[in-house]
Amino acid sequence: MAKVKTVNISNSVIHLLHRASQFADHQFEQATAAHGLTVRQLVVLDAIAKLDDPSQTDVCDVTGIDRSTLADMVRRLCARRLVGRRRNRADARAYTLKLTDDGIACLENLLPTMFEAEQKVTGVLSESRRRDFIDLLHSILAPSFAAPTRKLART
């Protein structure tokens, strides 16, 4: 029987990123269980808040969430009355999204909670290493996402 050459997969970047993602998701879920939102739903709310009358495609571009997943998420957020959706006047096939008053309140209430959960994930890092870590993650992700097609609204 031939021996299989093995590597230390437990030190694989892909494996470690997956484990870190699981840990981060768990921290967020525990912190926000009462609100019933996922990290990605919060990211969608944040993107809608920052973009000027975004379409679902604009939100896809900014968040990296695929179209079908985002469409389902938007339907759920609309059902919860956190997001309003209307047909785009210029393109009847597209929807324009807007946060409702409840969506704005939800986002404002959850952001501090999200940052607390994030602190649990990155709390072992110095502030300098945390900034470096975020920069490295942006560097890894930059080639995989298209640049946003719309400018962010001025706040």
Rounded to an integer, what distance in angstroms lies between the CA atom of residue 155 and that of residue 145?
Answer: 24
Give the domain ranges of the chain: 20-143
The average confidence (pLDDT) of the chain is: 88
Per-residue pLDDT at 44 exceeds 70 = yes
Per-residue pLDDT at 145 exceeds 90 = no
pLDDT at site 152: 46
Per-residue pLDDT at 113 exceeds 50 = yes
Cβ-proximal residues to 22 (8 Å cutoff; 6+ apart), any chain: none
Identify the architecture of domain 20-143 in CATH. Answer: Orthogonal Bundle (1.10)
Q: CB burial class (10 A; 0-12, 13-18, 19+) of residue 11? A: exposed
pTM here is 0.79
Section 3-26 average pLDDT:
88
Rounded to an integer, what distance in angstroms lies between the CA atom of residue 37 and that of residue 28?
Answer: 9
Least confident stretch, 9-18, 87-96, 138-147: 138-147
Section 35-43 average pLDDT:
90
Nearest to 22 by CA among 44, 39, 41: 39
